[in-house]
Structure 1
Amino acid sequence: MNAWPQWAAGIAAGIAGVLLLVLWSVRRHRPPSLGMACEGDMASLTDSLAGLSLGTVVPGNAVELVLDDAFFDAVEEQIGAARHTVHLENFLWKKGVVATRMTTALCKAARRGVCVRVLLDGMGGRRMGRAARRALRAAGCRVAFFHRWSLRNLGVLTDRDHRKLVITDGHTALVGGHCYTDAWLGDHIPATEQLPAYDVSVRVRGPIVHTLQGAFSENWAGETGELFAGDAVFPPLQPAGAIAMHAAYAKPERSAPAVKILHHAAICMAHRRIQVQNPYFIPKPEAIDAFGAAVRRGVEVRVLMPAIDATDNPVVNLAARRNFGKLLRCGVQLFECHKGLIHQKVMTIDGSWSAVGSSNFDDRSFDTNDELTLGILDDGVARQLDALFERLLRSARPVSLQEWEHRPLHRRLQEHACYSLRQVL
């Protein structure tokens, strides 16, 4: 009587194992080889970088940095000025002051006849709450969720939409790392929030906005089946400035995603300085080797991240610390900031090229999530981001190799355990 259940359990375990192997095989891609030698400065290499990351350099754009809680003022301003369309895509929307402001602005736009489309990640958007969802839909907003929890999404539940994007009338866009929660009010967070978050987004105008509209359309069409066209969403765009830009967001099958290629290839192209600001910095071995190679050819590499007492995810922070020794021995300079959750996803190369977007420097962003990163070729933008790096260093301390090597045993065990779980965090 007991043999059949044991036999059935064995068959079920075998089938599950085969299915997991098939899923791993289908989703697996070769890590990019980062041994390429690149001659020339970033201005001459940007076309190569854009092409490698499945994009095209688009000239004639204007860029404005939007920092910390000023982002929400910028979003409200754009939504308030919209006449035809508002497209908003984000990973996290949580009930609170910020969410109420955004809901009010979107509902007002919809009531005056603007077509409002809101796309939130199925996991991060669950915190929106029924009241806000009903209010948006009652006002006429179209609300969709990326990979909601359901049986038909069972095979893609680990794939999350981590993009952060707002486009109004097809001609102005905000791209960066901001989420819609009260923690992103920075120094002005309510008492209900424990940890302030600081962030960087960019407001862009010019022909690059067509590319960003296409990025929004990708996931919107995937979830709703709706395609949109015409001047309300893809208007003729004249040059708005003199900045050349490109976007990385594609995830080709069996090949490294574009955001991964973008960040890794840029490391190989640096000749003088690499500066990274990222909340979750867990480079894979090939990226660590590329950083080390950059240092050996004379590149200064500095990385700024939140300290463990200033992060919203201590498990990820501990996972990152596992490889601090290898990075430090390679000559990479690591700094931990105590100001709060330094959430911006920024990298500058040689003071002339910058990456700004939604992508963390870890396995989940580079291999699994849907992300969006802008490559910006402009000395002025790079100078502003490097100046922000220097300001935040005042609230940071360098990581010492000697201190890391003498950390207690329990901390080492925590780091190894968290590192083994990093892809599911």
Structure 2
Amino acid sequence: MFDFNLWAWLSLALIAALVLVIYSIRWHRSPILQVSSEAGIAELMPSLSGLTLSTAVEGNTVDVLENGAFYDVLLERIRAAQHSVHFETYLWKPGALADRMAAAFMDCAKAGVTVRILLDAQGSKRIDKDMVARLREHGCKLKFFHKKSLYTVGVLNDRDHRKLCVVDGREAFVGGHCITDEWLGNAEDGKHFSDVSVWLHGPIVHSVQGAFSENWAGETGELFVGDGVFPVLERVGTIPIHAAFVKPENSAPAVKILHHTVLCLAKKRIWIQNPYFIPKIEAIDALAAAVRRGVDVRVLMPSASGSDSPMVQHAGHRHFEKMLRHGVRLFEYPHTLLHQKLMTVDGCWCSVGSTNFDDRSFDTNDEITLGILDAGVARRFEQIFERYLARAEEIRLERWRKRGALHKLKDNAAYLLNDVL
């Protein structure tokens, strides 16, 4: 007779082996941060785009859209579509904003516009099922990314965190805005969040369309071609941009390479605005090295009381002391969630997109970040930084060291889960 305990041990071993196999499939190497260059970042766009498996394209325009005003422009442009609307997001919850978005999509579809909507199955699990049915009945093609099934068991932790929209293949929106009512308003109180997205025209729109196509084809098998989705795009401005979004197997994802590399190239300043700031040791060391080079390094983030996920903020606290000791200046905003994912380097290069400064975004999620070489856009992002900085609280080293034992316990406990937060 076969021993029951032996069966139990064999089952545990099999489960452990499966977990190890799944982990090894999804594991990505981290880049070794030993990048140096005499050239300034303004001269290194071809390098940054090449390292992130992209191409910098010239001739674009960038309009910066903040907070709830973003949706006024987005909805207007969706309703103006003639051929196609492609929309991809992580978070969609019932409310006034969801109703407005759905109405615009259905009106487009009724008018003969091809509407493709890709929602993350986990982030958008609270979407009204009747709304999904109505969207489909009106002709919208709606799919969910990585729905729970045996087929997706190995990638259920991989989420589609991108936020983008492409209209007629000629204009695109990229940023951090989600479809919940907290994003309406103007960050005027703790119930209304702050965020930043950009409205793009020019050849870079093809890159954003390509990012959408990647996950749409993965979920549906459908490829789309033609002038209604990939028209010839002439130069309409002067701004060079590249899009980082690819995630090759067994190599560092493009968004991680981009964020880490620019830390090593800065010569004057690095200003980071990010809602979930949990840098790894190699990134912390790169920030410390930047300070030693004379770089002004500042990070603005929500406090635990201002965040929608206090545990994430506590996990980020784990390495505050080390960063402060090395001269990195840290600021927390207690009034509401600052959800913008912005970075400016040396006043001439900047980034915007969906990527948080943590391992979930860098290694696990599907993300998109734009690298933009333009002093005007960089200055606009810095003005946003300065506006919120005026009401933020700077973390001082001596005071931080004296925080209470319970605070320290929360920080260390939360950090144990930082890879999955």
After TM superposition, the score normalised by the length of structure 2 is 0.98
Of stretches 31-40 and 375-384 in structure 1, the one that deviates more from structure 2 is 31-40
- 1:237 matched to 2:236? The reply is no
> 1:6: Cα distance to partner?
2.1
Task: Note the C-alpha offset of 1:272.
Answer: 0.1
From 403, 406, 412, the equivalent of 1:416 is 412
* 1:423 counterpart SS class: coil
What SS does structure 2 have at the residue aligned with 1:232?
Answer: coil
Q: Does 1:371 align with 2:367?
A: yes
1:234-276 superposed Cα distances (whole Å, 9 cap, x missing partner):
0010111100000000001100000000000011110000000
Contact 1:365/1:371 (CA < 8 Å) preserved in 2? yes
Q: Secondary structure at the match of 2:71?
A: helix
1:139 equivalent in structure 2: 138
Tell me, in whole angstroms, the C-alpha distance in 2 between the residues paired with 1:313 and 1:155.
Answer: 26
The 8 Å contact of residues 348 and 374 in structure 2, kept in 1 or not, is answered as: yes
Aligned to 1:405: 401
Displacement of 1:152: 1.1
In the other structure, the counterpart of 1:92 is 91
- Contact 2:190–2:335 (CA under 8 A) maintained in structure 1: no
Q: Does 1:393 align with 2:389?
A: yes
In structure 2, how many angstroms separate the alpha carbons of the residues matched to 1:103 and 1:40?
A: 48
Equivalent residues, number: 421
Question: Structure 1 residue 17: deviation in Å?
Answer: 1.2
Matched, 1:282 2:281: no
Rounded Cα–Cα distance in structure 2 between residues aligned with 1:238 and 1:128: 38
Aligned residue for 1:160?
159
Paired with 1:269 and 1:165, the residues of 2 have a C-alpha distance of 28
1:89-128 matches, within 5 Å, as 89-128=88-127
Distance 1:97 1:254 in 2: 42
Taking the aligned partners of 1:368 and 1:96, their CA distance within structure 2 comes to: 29
Q: Report the CA distance shift for 1:267/1:194 in structure 2 as closer, same or farther (over 3 A).
A: closer
Structure 1 runs of 4+ aligned residues shifted over 3 Å read: 186-189
Inter-partner Cα distance in structure 2 for 1:59 and 1:42:
16
Of 71-80 and 107-116, more deviation after overlay is shown by 71-80
- Cα distance between partner residues in 2 of 1:156 and 1:210: 27
Q: Deviations over 1:143-178 (max 9, x none)?
A: 000001111111100000000000000000000000
2-structure distance, mates of 1:82, 1:72: 15
Query: Residue in 1 aligned with 2:269?
Result: 273
Mean Cα displacement is larger for which, 69-78 or 283-292? Answer: 69-78
Aligned positions of 1:218-233 closer than 5 A? 218-233=214-229
Return 178-187 or 299-308, whichever deviates more. 178-187
Q: CA deviation at 1:22?
A: 2.1
Distance 2:40 2:310 in 1: 38
**Which moves more between the two structures, 208-217 or 28-37?**
28-37
Counterpart-to-counterpart distance in 2, 1:296 and 1:247: 30
Write the letter of the residue equivalent to 1:157: L
Instruction: Please list the CA deviations of residues 350-370 of structure 1 after superposition, one character each: whole Å capped at 9, or x if unmatched.
Output: 000011000000010000000
The CA distance in 1 between the partners of 2:298 and 2:190, in whole Å, is 28
The Cα of 1:187 is off from its aligned counterpart by 3.9
Query: SS where residue 301 of structure 2 aligns?
Result: strand
2:213 is matched with 217
Q: What is the distance in 2 between the residues matched to 1:418 and 1:208?
A: 39
Cα deviation, 1:309-335, whole Å, max 9, x if unaligned, reads: 110001101100111001111110000
SS in structure 2 opposite 1:14? helix
Counterparts of 1:173-212 in structure 2, within 5 Å, are: 173-187=172-186, 195-212=191-208
Distance 1:24 1:109 in 2: 42
Could you tell me which residue of structure 2 aligns to residue 346 of structure 1? 342
Q: Secondary structure at the match of 2:240?
A: strand
CA RMSD of aligned residues (A): 1.3
Q: Which residue of 1 aligns with 2:243?
A: 247
Amino acid at match of 1:128: I
SS in structure 1 at match of 2:78: helix
2:338 partner amino acid: I
**Structure 1 Cα separation of the partners of residues 138 and 371 of structure 2:** 36
1:90 maps to a residue whose letter is: T
SS at match of 1:144: strand
- Tell whether the 8 Å contact from 1:195 to 1:310 is kept in structure 2 after alignment: no
Deviation at 1:188, TM superposition (A): 7.6
Of the candidates 287, 294, 297, which is equivalent to residue 293 of structure 2?
297
Superposed CA deviations along residues 282-332 of structure 1, whole A, max 9, x for unmatched, are: 000000000000000010000000011110001101100111001111110
**Quick one: which amino acid aligns to residue 396 of structure 1?**
A
**Residue 232 of structure 2: SS of its match in structure 1?**
coil
SS at match of 2:58: strand
Question: Which residue of structure 2 aligns with residue 80 of structure 1?
Answer: 79
8 Å CA contact 1:95–1:129 kept in 2: the answer is yes
Residue 194 of structure 1 and its aligned partner are, at CA, apart by 6.3
Unmatched 5+ residue regions in structure 1? none
Distance 1:167 1:248 in 2: 16
Q: Is this contact kept in 2: 1:310–1:341, CA < 8 A?
A: yes
Structure 1 residue 345 displacement after superposition: 0.4
More helix by share: 1
Which consecutive residues of structure 2, in runs of 5 or more, have no partner in the other structure? Answer: none
Distance in 2 (CA, whole Å) between partners of 1:404 and 1:194 is 24
Q: CA deviation at 1:116?
A: 0.2
Secondary structure in structure 1 of the residue aligned to 2:200: strand
Q: Check whether the contact 2:28–2:253 (CA below 8 A) recurs between aligned residues.
A: no
Deviation at 1:75, TM superposition (A): 1.3
Q: SS in structure 2 opposite 1:143?
A: strand
